[in-house]
Amino acid sequence: MSRVPGLPLPDAQFESLAFWTGGERGELLIHRCGECGLWLHPPKPVCRRCMSRTVAPQPVSGEGTVYSYTVNRQQWMPDVEVPYVLAVVELAEDPGLRLTTRLTGVDPSDVRIGLPVRVVFEQVEEFWIPLFTTNPTTSETEEGSR
């Protein structure tokens, strides 16, 4: 995909490079401490719990729920279509493991706290931006097929 006009590219530092490039392999990579198992996002070279330096990116399921969100209706950048949804997604691996992202492929009026979502990636130059879209739960899927 080509770069979306008006949106800045990530400032990929050494610690965050895996997060921005793992999507090329279909992986959402989040740093995790090799000593105590704590997930660290945003990534840091030292674990904030045990101070270990054995921190490295590991793939996560890419599934989660909307923890919080806002619908942006103001056109801050002329080339970015509105409305769009900015969300804080809590990943399934650990309560408290959250990341800020954009929701895609979902009507803003359908977004709610607790909405199941899954990661999708948008390639922008050398980066793979993790976005999230709806991920129907088994019970919602079964209801829809009745």
Domains of the chain: 13-60 (no CATH), 61-146 (2.40.50)
Res 137 pLDDT > 90: no
Residue 3 has pLDDT above 50, yes or no: no
Q: In the predicted model, what is the mean pLDDT of the chain?
A: 89
Bridge partners (DSSP) listed for residue 39: 32
Band of pLDDT at residue 89, cut at 50, 70 and 90: very high
Give the distance between the most distant pair of CA atoms in the chain. 52
139 pLDDT higher than 60: no
What pLDDT, in 10s, does the model give residues 57-76?
999 999 999 999 999 999 88
Average pLDDT over residues 7-16: 82
140 sits in which H/E element? helix 138-145
Question: What is d(CA 29, CA 17) in angstroms, rounded to the nearest whole number?
Answer: 10
